[in-house]
């Protein structure tokens, strides 16, 4: 993620204004800012369609036809007091009625406008207007720059990470998405949605084969009637936090995902009963979340209250046969000695095809968490014959709290070698190698990479003994001569 310094400065100033304006909870602040960005994007898209319709002669009715004052272009010109009244009484109610009847609409029913200071709203609107002007001049394209800006905005959530919830770095999400390779026509699910980073990444990945060099979607997408499937029956996710649901919904709508199926649900509870439904699961579940034992689903194959184990077990249940998963887990899942740990690993190997275990350095989630993690890639059904391991040492960023961009980056090689590993020409190395499942079983189903890494000892050749003795004798003579000379001088 690269964000221009002037954009960072604007976003930081917005945060400071919200903090000093009495809105200190990052989730509340992001919810308000996201809603304003959503209004800005709706206004931009509305203008584009008006312009396009005037050029093509097609009929187009503005989404703001009955709520002209809700349009960004109109309320941004008002004085601060009038702007506050308009956004509170017209624009926010308009968002809550947008796309009536959809799950997006349902999630925003209780969205509250909590900005009470006119100056805070007017300064935020002005700052966002300036940010958009900067992004429109960015060489890599407006939508990519907007995505980076929004990721930077969302990074504030991580500083308040509760229950082990930390924002997954965008480049790690992209890596996992490329490894799992979701396709249009498949249902993609994230059981612990957060800000919907995985679903947005899957959407972008799916569109790549249908995107022209100039960024426009090719006709083959609509000709094959795939757009309807992509829009209405592809993206699914759950989260127990209504604020995260709203943020993820608006995030997906900002990325043109028209009808995501996002629900406020505790996926580990008795109320969640889905099984054999999804072709792809992409997830970074909370590592240390709490769970109500009385409300825990009875469909788990393991007996545990550890959410990092239960989510992996859940994923194996909701995947359809042949479905693929990429999930981030803490290292303890790989080598934990409890019955639940061993049962889960045995289940992964005997009832699924565990494709890969990618060990990631502990600094990947800094500065918010230093936990060591790994990525599991598996396919539901069948059995595992051998597991591919990769020892990621660098992800393109320094592994300290600053996380500055660096040259060392294993991710391109991980993707290349993963796609190459089943070819006849593939060869194991110190960084990546196969381990036969029989060896893993012998090691009590341990999946930690250090258990199987080959340690190469460098043989040191010493000179013959008579040479060593000769050198010692010469050294002794030299020391004795030096001592005599020292005594003479003294």
Give, rounded to a whole angstrom, the gap between the first and last alpha carbons of the chain. 70
**How confident is residue 166, by pLDDT bands cut at 50, 70 and 90?**
low
What is the C-alpha to C-alpha distance for residues 456 and 454, in angstroms, rounded to an integer? 6
Assess whether pLDDT exceeds 80 at residue 312: yes
Domains identified in the chain, total number:
2
> Quick one: 146 and 247 in the same domain?
no
Say which CATH number the domain at 103 has: 1.20.1260
> Quick one: 198 and 134 in the same domain?
no
Q: Which of 438, 331, 321, 428 is nearest to 381 (CA)?
A: 321
The stretch 98-124 carries a mean pLDDT of 89
Q: Which of 21-30, 193-202, 288-297 has the lowest mean pLDDT?
A: 288-297
Can you give the pLDDT at residue 137?
81
pLDDT over 90, % of the chain: 52
- Residue 421 in domain: yes
> Quick one: 83 and 179 in the same domain?
no
Assess whether pLDDT exceeds 50 at residue 161: no
Assess whether pLDDT exceeds 70 at residue 410: yes
Assess whether pLDDT exceeds 80 at residue 156: no
> Quick one: 244 and 266 in the same domain?
yes
> Quick one: 181 and 80 in the same domain?
no
Q: Are 23 and 29 in contact (CB under 8 A)?
A: yes
- Residue 480 in domain: no
> Quick one: 103 and 243 in the same domain?
no
> Quick one: 100 and 187 in the same domain?
no
- Residue 267 in domain: yes
Give every CB contact of residue 228 below 8 A, 6+ residues apart in sequence. Answer: none
Give me the count of residues in the chain.
490
Can you give the pLDDT at residue 488?
65
Q: Are 75 and 88 in contact (CB under 8 A)?
A: no
- Residue 413 in domain: yes
> Quick one: 179 and 153 in the same domain?
no
pLDDT digits (tens, 9 = 90+) for 318-335: 999 999 999 999 999 999
Q: Are 346 and 305 in contact (CB under 8 A)?
A: no
What residues make up the domain containing 378?
A: 173-460
Q: Does pTM surpass 0.95?
A: no
Can you give the pLDDT at residue 160?
46
Give the burial class of 16: count Cβ atoms within 10 A of its Cβ; 0-12 exposed, 13-18 middle, 19 or more buried. exposed
**How confident is residue 78, by pLDDT bands cut at 50, 70 and 90?**
very high
Q: Are 281 and 325 in contact (CB under 8 A)?
A: yes
Assess whether pLDDT exceeds 60 at residue 145: yes
- Give pairs for 209-214: CB < 8 Å, separation 24+: 210/184
- In the chain, what are the helix, strand and coil shares in percent, each to the nearest 5? 50, 15, 35
Last residue within a domain, chosen from 93, 126, 160:
160
> Quick one: 354 and 245 in the same domain?
yes
Average pLDDT, the chain: 87
pLDDT over 70, % of the chain: 88
**How confident is residue 162, by pLDDT bands cut at 50, 70 and 90?**
very low
> Quick one: 141 and 230 in the same domain?
no
- Residue 477 in domain: no
The stretch 155-168 carries a mean pLDDT of 56
Can you give the pLDDT at residue 487?
66
Residue indicated by tokens 């020292």: 486
Say which CATH number the domain at 247 has: 3.40.50.150
- Residue 263 in domain: yes
- Residue 167 in domain: no
H/E element, 303: none
- Residue 469 in domain: no
Assess whether pLDDT exceeds 80 at residue 175: yes
The stretch 355-377 carries a mean pLDDT of 88
> Quick one: 75 and 194 in the same domain?
no
Give the burial class of 328: count Cβ atoms within 10 A of its Cβ; 0-12 exposed, 13-18 middle, 19 or more buried. buried
């Amino acid at each position: 993620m690269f964000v221009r310094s002037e954009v960072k400065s604007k976003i930081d100033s917005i945060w400071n204004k919200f903090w000093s304006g009495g809105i200190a909870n990052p989730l509340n602040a992001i919810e308000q800012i996201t809603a304003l960005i959503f209004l800005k994007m709706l206004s931009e898209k509305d203008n584009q369609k008006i312009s396009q319709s005037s050029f093509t002669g097609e009929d187009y009715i503005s989404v703001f036809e009955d709520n002209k004052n809700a349009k960004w272009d109109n309320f941004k010109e008002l004085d601060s007091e009038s702007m506050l009244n308009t956004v509170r009484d017209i624009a926010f109610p308009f968002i809550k009625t947008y796309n009536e009847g959809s799950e997006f609409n349902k999630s925003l029913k209780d969205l509250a406008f909590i900005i009470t200071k006119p100056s805070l709203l007017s300064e935020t609107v002005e700052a966002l207007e300036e940010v958009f002007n900067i992004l429109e001049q960015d060489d890599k394209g407006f939508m990519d720059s907007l995505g980076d800006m929004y990721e930077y905005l969302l990074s504030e959530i991580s500083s308040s990470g509760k229950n082990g919830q930390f924002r997954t770095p965008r480049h790690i999400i992209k890596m996992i998405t490329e490894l799992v390779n979701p396709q249009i026509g498949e249902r993609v699910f994230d059981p612990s949605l957060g800000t919907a980073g995985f679903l947005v990444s899957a959407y972008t990945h799916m569109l790549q084969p249908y995107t022209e060099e100039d960024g426009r979607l090719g006709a083959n997408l609509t000709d094959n009637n795939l757009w309807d499937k992509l829009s209405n029956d592809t993206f699914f996710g759950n989260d127990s936090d209504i604020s995260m649901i709203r943020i993820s919904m608006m995030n997906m709508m900002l990325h043109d995902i028209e009808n995501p199926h996002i629900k406020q649900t505790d996926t580990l509870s008795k109320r969640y009963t889905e099984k054999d439904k999804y072709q792809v699961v992409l997830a970074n579940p909370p590592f240390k979340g709490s769970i109500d034992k009385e409300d825990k689903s009875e469909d788990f194959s393991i007996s545990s209250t550890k959410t990092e184990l239960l989510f992996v077990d859940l994923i194996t249940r909701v995947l359809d046969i042949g479905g693929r998963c990429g999930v981030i887990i803490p290292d303890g899942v790989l080598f934990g000695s409890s019955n639940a740990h061993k049962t889960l690993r045995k289940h992964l190997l005997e009832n699924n095809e565990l494709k890969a275990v990618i060990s990631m350095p502990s600094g990947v989630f800094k500065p918010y968490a230093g936990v060591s993690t790994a990525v599991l890639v598996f396919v539901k059904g069948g059995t595992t014959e051998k597991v591919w391991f990769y020892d990621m040492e660098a992800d393109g960023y320094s592994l300290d709290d600053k996380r500055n961009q660096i040259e060392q980056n294993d991710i391109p090689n991980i993707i290349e070698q993963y796609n190459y590993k089943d070819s006849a020409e593939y060869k194991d190395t110190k960084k990546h190698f196969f381990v036969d499942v029989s060896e893993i079983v012998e090691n009590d189903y341990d999946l930690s990479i250090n258990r199987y890494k080959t340690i190469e000892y460098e043989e040191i050749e010493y000179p013959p003994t008579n040479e060593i003795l000769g050198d010692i004798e010469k050294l002794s003579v030299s020391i004795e001569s030096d001592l005599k000379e020292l005594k003479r001088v003294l």
